[in-house]
Amino acid sequence: MFTKWQAVLAHCPLFAGIDPAELQIMLGCLNPEVRRYRKHELVTVEGERFLGVGVVLAGRAIVTKESVAGNRVILSTLQPGDLFGEMVAFSGRKGWPATILAQQEATVFFLPPAKIVGNCPRQCPSHRRLILNMLRIISEKALQLNRKVEHLTIKTLRGKIAVFLLEKAKEAGTTTFMLPFNRNELAEYLNVARPSLSRELGRLKAEGVIDFHGASVKIIDAEALKRMAE
């Protein structure tokens, strides 16, 4: 059943180091639930019943939180092979900690925590690797959330934009890259007003620090961005 997603699952950190043939056997044993979502459909709703660790098989989604004032903040984006729900899976909480919205048609499977750490009925040799991968993923996610907090504590709008663009360039391995958000979503991610964000991006472009067209961004003066990020 999962062979058509083999290429995606091979890049999923939960299954890192597991032979593709063994992975198919293990998935047959774990039997995760596969669900499909339309564009702009809710994948999870904060507070509703937790289904298990999710893995995006196709499409794209965003992870969001809503403040007490009703303002939405985007925490991250999800691409094929990405996980979500791992931070709450073993916490004892029974509800989703955040809302996830499909940005386009998406396919996701859900794996209950008990199946990850429980005894494997078929004694799959790679099950121990699965558990070790889960521990590493949770540790890395904690570090990512720490960086997100750093974004929110930066006081200047330029500083927030600079840190965000420098991190995306580092992830892409090039100074020209595609943004994972549209302008509204980027404003929500940085927790700033969209008009202010658009004006500041326009100023950075006019000053020759960056160039952009749609979702494509090119960093022209990385040193200037680094100074803004300090």
CATH superfamily, with its number, for domain 3-142: Jelly Rolls (2.60.120.10)
Residues comprising the chain, all counted: 230
Name the CA radius of gyration of the chain, rounded: 19
Return the percentage of the chain with pLDDT > 90, whole number: 45
Q: Cα–chain-centroid distance for residue 140?
A: 12
Distance separating alpha carbons of residues 146 and 165, to the nearest angstrom: 17
Do 131 and 90 meet the contact criterion of CB atoms below 8 Å apart? no
In the chain, domain spans: 3-142, 154-229
Q: Does residue 145 register a pLDDT over 80?
A: no
Q: Residue 128: exposed, middle, or buried by beta-carbon count in 10 A (0-12, 13-18, 19+)? A: exposed
Q: How confident is the model at residue 108 (pLDDT cuts 50, 70, 90)?
A: very high
> Residue 84's pLDDT is what?
93
pLDDT tens for residues 155-214? Answer: 889 999 999 999 899 988 999 999 888 888 888 888 888 999 999 999 999 999 999 998
Beta bridge partners of 64: 74, 99
Do 217 and 165 meet the contact criterion of CB atoms below 8 Å apart? yes
Do 130 and 89 meet the contact criterion of CB atoms below 8 Å apart? no
Q: Does residue 67 register a pLDDT over 80?
A: no
Class of domain 154-229: mainly alpha
Distance separating alpha carbons of residues 12 and 109, to the nearest angstrom: 12
More confident residue, 61 or 145: 61
> Residue 177's pLDDT is what?
93
For residue 14, report the phi and psi dihedrals to the nearest 5 degrees.
-65, -25
Q: How many C-beta atoms lie closer than 10 Å to residue 182's C-beta?
A: 13
Q: Does residue 68 register a pLDDT over 70?
A: no
